[in-house]
Amino acid sequence: MSRLLYENSVSYKGYLIIPFVFGTADNHEIYSYKLLAEIGHKSQFHKADNPAKVYGSSINNIVDIAKEHIEQHSDFVSQGDSFKSRYVYRHNLIIVFQEGGKYFYDHYPPELLNNIAAPKLFTSEYECLNWIQQGLLGRHIKQKAK
């Protein structure tokens, strides 16, 4: 699997559809997708890898396939867009949440849907994003120095 194409992710009915290039055939890319659910592990499709078991010929095509599958098989009703404050930085997905006046985040690296966020609270979305950016820049510099 190539990296997850977070920059092409689509929030839909409580899920985040994340396309990626599954492979190639005759020099054409074949797309698949993964899902994140706003209710996390309470959903059977949280972190699911292409639950529709159908592949697409383009990013738009695979997103439409995922939407159709969600329409037919979703196991919850979304109350809003939990993924509206999402950012991509150096191919990492950052999702910022607010609860009770505090901010926190989920952080997914380019190739995996494993949340590697630090358990830290912030007073603003800006403070949260700035802290994440500094961490990613620091990690990037350390890797270059080796």
The string of DSSP letters for 93-130 reads EEEEEEETTEEEEEEE-TT-------S--BSSHHHHHH
Please give the average per-residue pLDDT across 12-26, as a whole number. 96
Helix (H) or strand (E) holding 85: none
- Span 67-106, pLDDT tens digits: 999 999 999 888 889 999 999 999 999 999 999 999 999 9
Higher pLDDT, 109 or 140: 109
Q: Whole-angstrom distance between the N-terminal and C-terminal Cα of the chain?
A: 27
For the chain, give the percent of residues with pLDDT over 70: 94
User: Does residue 90 sit in the same domain as residue 56?
Assistant: no
Last residue of a domain, one of 41, 73, 105: 73
Under 8 Å between Cβ of 60 and 72: no
pLDDT at 135 over 50: yes
pLDDT at 130 over 60: yes
Give the pLDDT score at 144: 46
Domain with 133, as residue range(s), is: 86-144
The tally of domains found in the chain comes to: 2
| 115 found inside a domain | yes
| 79 found inside a domain | no
| 1 found inside a domain | no
Among residues 24, 70, 26, the alpha carbon closest in space to that of 48 is found at: 70
| 78 found inside a domain | no
User: Does residue 40 sit in the same domain as residue 90?
Assistant: no
